[in-house]
Amino acid sequence: MEEDPETAASAPPPELHAVLPHIGFVRSRKGKLLLAESVLSFIIFVCYISSLSSSFMMAPLLEFLVALFLFFAYASQLNEKFKGVYWPLADFLRCVTAAIIYFAISIAAVAKYNDAASKAGGVFGFVATIVFAIDCYITFNELMTFLKHSSPATPERPKTEGG
């Protein structure tokens, strides 16, 4: 059976499938949120590195790397392979801390520094705060439904003679 040369040229090589994220995850809500978080964190990092507020560059850099790691971890289904990590809780804590940190450094960057890159980093930081808060809300709801379904039913108390 011969392959069509056009389809063979357009398909990625088999080695690349291990690196490329699954298209179903990229189109999912979680995939879009993680991708938005990564892009926003990178933009904020670039804004802060080229501004007077370069002392704020570490938080967006770390968040960019963590969001990128989680994007590829979820896309390659590492969360199903490594059961030792409670992924929804780790993701929830990441979202909460990132939203708080971005909100704090955005206020400081906008209020303290007058250059355009600091102001742009602050504005993108406020947008990132909203995106992380949305992700936090969705992750919290998924976490609560998971805990409700996995918790054992409350045992009934044995009835006593007096009551």
Whether the per-residue pLDDT at 8 is higher than 80: the answer is no
Quick check: 123 and 113 in contact, CB under 8 A? no
So what's the pLDDT on residue 136? 94
In sequence order, the 6+-apart residues with CB closer than 8 A to the CB of 125 are 44, 60, 102, 103, 105, 106, 109
Q: Any long-range contacts for 66-74 (C-beta under 8 Å, 24+ apart)?
A: 66/94, 67/34, 67/37, 67/38, 67/41, 68/38, 70/34, 70/94, 71/21, 71/31, 71/34, 71/35, 71/38, 72/21, 74/25, 74/30, 74/31, 74/34
Quick check: 156 and 69 in contact, CB under 8 A? no
Quote the mean pLDDT of the chain.
82
Q: What is the pLDDT of residues 10-51, one digit of tens each?
A: 666 666 555 566 677 778 888 899 999 999 999 999 999 998
